[in-house]
């Protein structure tokens, strides 16, 4: 008697429910009035902070070009005694966090912008700008002669200053508009939040990313329009990869000792980003997001402050609460990003396209398996 084996069934992804949520225009974060209040409120505060970050990053890129010791770079060209005293007293926006994000993007790279910054076209444009900047500075010319790769690397970094500043300019406006829509009653659910953010990302997707500096009355294009760099694929996606997913290991939370083997030798396997980080260490030494939480604390909407006041320890642990809300909001932004990047319409009826969409999301869900996704469901 011949026995036939049963047909093999396709394995179900461990995070299949979340894949179906994304395909169904839902979100990775559960829909509840509390979650909507937290997400919209924290993004309102984040939008205000991003406005300041964006302006400063663009100021540095445009006006501190190859200034090796930019002592007043955080002043946006307005140096006064009052601002200096506030700076020393730390009663200010922590622009260091913006630079942390920029350097994280620079280090992880990725995307067409990263490739362009290694191209011959960039090196030619970069070389012309450097020559114009240092032509009357013997010390800088000597430095460039001894270390010819140093100044081009500084220009690459300045390109990221500008690109991230342009990206955050769009996101700041988007988050403020989201808050206005919530106040007007047009946004009432988490899917509404995700749809609003997705629409904003799609609308800005093709915005060109360019960067030029003026030296001696002459304009030098560092990132020309001809490079074809755009908002979504060349800045937004690398930003999500570098800041949401990979990040950097925080000092004091893991050992940097190579013998301890606590940090992967493969950057692609880093999982220290905003979607993975434990909010509890916020406020501790060596935790860069502490700077962001401190900044957002100054601009919380009244309704979010009242919500924090009514929970647990009130405002005594407000920075941790802010981080928890911020992490929830980043899962919403991630949801919007993934839905916007789907290779085919989410509601397609073509079997091949449906498989492609599923495989695309499954690959991202593999990476989210060790994230805080399970925690934000509570």
Concatenate the DSSP letters of all residues of 325-339 into one string: HHHHHHHHHHHHHHH
Which CA distances in Å does 347 have to 23, 95, 199, 331? 7, 42, 16, 22
> Residue 219 belongs to what H/E stretch?
strand 218-223
The pLDDT tens digits for 280-292 are 888 877 788 999 9
Mean of the per-residue pLDDT values of the chain:
93
C-alpha to C-alpha distance for 45 and 297, rounded to whole angstroms: 8
Instruction: Indicate the length of the chain as a whole number.
Output: 378
Structure tokens, 16: 């299949």
Structure tokens, 8: 């093999």
In this predicted structure, what is the pLDDT of residue 10? 55
Which CA distances in Å does 316 have to 94, 294, 309? 21, 13, 9
pTM summary value:
0.92
The pLDDT tens digits for 42-59 are 999 999 999 999 999 999
How far out from the chain centre does Cα 18 lie?
A: 22
**How many Cβ atoms from other residues are within 10 Å of residue 226's Cβ?**
10
**How many Cβ atoms from other residues are within 10 Å of residue 307's Cβ?**
17
In this predicted structure, what is the pLDDT of residue 285? 75
Question: CB of 362 within 8 A of CB of 13?
Answer: yes
C-alpha to C-alpha distance for 74 and 98, rounded to whole angstroms: 11
In this predicted structure, what is the pLDDT of residue 4? 52
C-alpha to C-alpha distance for 132 and 12, rounded to whole angstroms: 60
C-alpha to C-alpha distance for 43 and 180, rounded to whole angstroms: 11
In this predicted structure, what is the pLDDT of residue 9? 43
pLDDT > 90: what percent of the chain? 81
Task: Enumerate the domain spans of the chain.
Answer: 16-61+92-377
The pLDDT tens digits for 5-44 are 444 445 788 999 999 999 999 999 999 999 999 999 999 9
In this predicted structure, what is the pLDDT of residue 296? 96
Q: Which residues of the chain have pLDDT under 50?
A: 1, 5-9
Exposed, middle or buried, 220 (CB in 10 Å: 0-12/13-18/19+)?
A: buried
Backbone angles phi, psi at 268, to 5 degrees: -65, -15
In this predicted structure, what is the pLDDT of residue 86? 87
Structure tokens, 234: 């060349």
C-alpha to C-alpha distance for 239 and 42, rounded to whole angstroms: 19
Which 3 state secondary structure label does DSSP give 312?
A: coil
Q: Where are the alpha helices (DSSP H) in 110-149?
A: 111-116, 120-134, 138-146
Nearest C-alpha neighbor of 168 from the set 108, 260, 270, 98: 98
Which CA distances in Å does 148 have to 123, 127, 135, 215, 251? 11, 10, 15, 20, 32
């Amino acid at each position: 008697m011949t026995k036939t084996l049963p047909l093999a069934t396709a394995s179900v992804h461990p995070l299949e429910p979340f894949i179906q949520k994304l395909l169904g225009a839902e979100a990775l974060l559960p829909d509840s009035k509390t979650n909507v209040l937290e997400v919209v409120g924290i993004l309102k505060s984040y939008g205000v902070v991003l406005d300041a970050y964006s302006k400063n990053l663009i100021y540095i890129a445009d006006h501190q070009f190859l200034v090796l010791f930019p002592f007043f770079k955080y002043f946006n060209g307005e140096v006064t005694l009052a601002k200096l005293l506030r700076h020393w007293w730390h009663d200010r926006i922590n622009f260091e966090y913006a630079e942390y994000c920029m350097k994280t993007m620079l280090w992880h790279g990725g995307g067409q912008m990263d490739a362009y910054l290694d191209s011959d076209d960039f090196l030619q444009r970069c070389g012309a700008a450097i020559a114009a900047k240092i032509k009357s500075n013997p010390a800088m010319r000597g430095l460039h002669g001894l270390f010819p790769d140093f100044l081009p690397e500084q220009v690459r970094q300045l390109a990221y200053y500008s690109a991230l500043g342009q990206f955050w300019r769009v996101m700041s406006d988007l988050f403020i508009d989201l808050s206005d829509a919530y106040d007007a009653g047009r946004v009432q659910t988490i899917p509404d939040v995700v749809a609003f953010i997705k629409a904003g990302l799609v609308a800005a997707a093709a915005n060109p990313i360019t960067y030029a500096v003026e030296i001696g009355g002459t304009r030098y294009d560092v990132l020309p329009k001809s490079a074809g760099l755009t908002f979504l694929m060349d800045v937004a996606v690398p930003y999500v990869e570098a800041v949401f997913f990979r990040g950097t290991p925080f000092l004091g939370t893991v050992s940097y000792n190579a013998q301890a083997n606590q940090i992967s030798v493969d950057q692609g396997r880093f999982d220290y980003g905003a979607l993975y980080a434990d909010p509890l260490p916020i406020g501790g030494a060596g935790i860069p997001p502490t700077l962001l939480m401190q900044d957002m604390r100054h601009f919380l909407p009244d309704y979010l402050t009242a919500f924090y006041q009514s929970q647990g320890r009130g405002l005594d642990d407000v920075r941790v609460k802010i981080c928890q809300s911020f992490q929830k909001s980043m899962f919403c932004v991630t949801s919007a990003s993934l839905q916007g990047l789907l290779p085919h319409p989410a509601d397609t009826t073509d079997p091949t396209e449906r498989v492609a969409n599923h495989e695309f999301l499954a690959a991202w869900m593999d990476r989210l398996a060790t994230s805080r996704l399970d925690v934000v469901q509570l």
